[in-house]
């Protein structure tokens, strides 16, 4: 990108500075329009489109932008990905690996931010990051806290809720192995009483899954087993590929999911 294409005119600089002061770094088209005094809406659209092209505005979704605040950030959004995820759906919380990463239990680079919502599941892409929301029942919309990221806030799942969301919404060997790995490595960081209490709110399938996995790490599962025995005529699967049967939990599992 040539420097002549990224340098701001004084008028553009004034607009962006005013926008940050009044609206912070996430701004809508209508909010920007109030700063272009005397300009027609078509002219404003062209000017906003030019700021997007130059990289000073990052389009988050239709009519909503993030303002880049330094030349060193051009091409990269300098807002937290948790905050951006929240802009797509106010009634959502970040979960899965992203929540584990926030709490220090996951250190691999992620290019997808996963959220949970009671609204429609949607997908967005901002530069190289994919933002994907998954729909959950209203009775399972709990277990998150509001965290602060600079001038903004975003809702992030607690560790225990993130682990349960992975088991409930992603039935793959990878996810089961990841959850089991975290249960083993971070026993001192996980509230197992809370994990089991939350699991009972999900239903019998998660009760059996969590009970089975907690057996693998040597945690007490007495309370979960009492709940599981109440549904002795049914069974569940740990993953879609499970073929081995555990009579205690009435759960099919696979050896590959117990690495």
pLDDT of 88 reads 86
In this structure, the answer to whether residues 166 and 254 fall within a common structural domain is yes
User: Based on the domain organization, do 245 and 173 belong to the same domain?
Assistant: yes
Q: 């040597």: which residue's tokens?
A: 218
pLDDT at 25: 84
Helices of type H across 9-80: 10-23, 29-33, 41-54
Q: What is the predicted pLDDT for the residue at 2?
A: 39
How many domains does the structure of the chain reveal?
3
Measured over the CA atoms of residue 103, residue 198, residue 211 and residue 219, the dihedral's sign is positive
Each of the 259 residues of the chain gets a pLDDT tens digit; together they read 333 455 677 888 888 888 888 888 889 999 999 999 888 999 998 888 888 887 788 888 888 888 887 655 555 556 788 988 988 888 999 999 999 999 999 988 888 999 999 998 889 888 778 999 999 999 999 999 999 988 889 999 999 999 999 999 988 899 999 999 999 999 999 999 999 999 999 999 999 999 999 999 999 999 999 999 888 788 999 998 899 999 999 999 998 766 5
User: What is the Cα–Cα distance from 131 to 110, expressed in whole angstroms?
Assistant: 11
Cβ atoms 46, 32 nearer than 8 A: no
- Which residues share a beta bridge with 155? 146
pLDDT at 72: 52
Domain boundary among 132, 157, 182: 157
CB 32 within 8 A of CB 20: no
187 & 139 share domain: no
- Do 224 and 170 lie in one domain? The reply is yes
Q: Are residues 63 and 93 in the same domain?
A: no
Residues 167 and 181 in one domain: yes
Question: Residue 38 belongs to a domain with what CATH number?
Answer: 1.10.10.10
Taking the C-alpha atoms of residue 42 and residue 6, their distance in angstroms, rounded to an integer, is 22
Burial category of 53 from C-beta neighbours within 10 Å (exposed 0-12, middle 13-18, buried 19 and up): exposed
Closest CA to 92 of 139, 145, 126, 133: 133
| Entry pTM | 0.76
Which of 157, 183, 212 is the endpoint of a domain? Answer: 157
Q: Domain end: 126, 157, 188, which one?
A: 157
If DSSP codes are grouped into helix, strand and coil, which group holds residue 137?
Answer: coil
**Do both 127 and 60 map to the same domain?**
no
Domain that residue 182 falls in:
162-258
Q: At what angle do helices 159-169 and 192-202 cross, to 10 degrees?
A: 40
Residues 153 and 166 in one domain: no
- Which distant-in-sequence residues (6+ apart) come within 8 Å of 24 by Cβ? 151, 152
CA 192 to chain centre: 22
Both 167 and 246 in one domain: the answer is yes
Cα dihedral 199, 201, 202, 205, rounded to 10, equals: 70
Helices (H), 132-203: 159-169, 173-185, 192-202
Q: Can you tell me the distance from the alpha carbon of 30 to that of 98, in angstroms, rounded to the nearest whole number?
A: 31
């Amino acid at each position: 990108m040539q420097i002549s294409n990224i340098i701001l005119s004084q008028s553009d600089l004034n607009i962006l500075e005013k926008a940050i002061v009044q609206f912070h770094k996430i701004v809508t088209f209508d909010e920007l329009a109030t700063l272009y005094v005397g300009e027609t809406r078509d002219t404003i659209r062209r000017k906003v489109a030019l700021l997007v092209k130059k990289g000073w505005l990052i389009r988050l979704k239709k009519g909503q932008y993030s303002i880049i605040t330094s030349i060193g950030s051009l091409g990269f959004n300098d807002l937290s990905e948790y905050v951006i995820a929240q802009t797509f759906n106010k009634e959502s919380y970040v979960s899965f690996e992203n929540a584990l990463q926030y709490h220090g239990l996951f250190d691999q680079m992620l290019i997808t931010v996963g959220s949970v919502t009671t609204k429609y599941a949607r997908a967005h892409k901002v530069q190289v990051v994919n933002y994907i929301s998954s729909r959950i029942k209203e009775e399972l919309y709990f277990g998150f806290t509001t965290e602060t990221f600079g001038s903004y806030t975003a809702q992030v799942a607690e560790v225990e809720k993130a682990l349960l969301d992975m088991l409930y919404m992603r039935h793959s060997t990878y996810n089961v192995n990841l959850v089991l790995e975290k249960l083993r490595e971070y026993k001192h960081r996980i509230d197992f009483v809370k994990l089991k209490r939350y699991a009972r709110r999900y239903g019998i399938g998660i009760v059996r899954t969590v009970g089975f996995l907690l057996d693998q790490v040597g945690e007490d599962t007495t309370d979960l087993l009492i709940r599981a025995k109440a549904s002795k005529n049914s069974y569940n699967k740990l993953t879609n590929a499970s073929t081995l049967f555990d009579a205690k939990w009435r759960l099919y599992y696979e050896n590959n999911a117990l690495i």
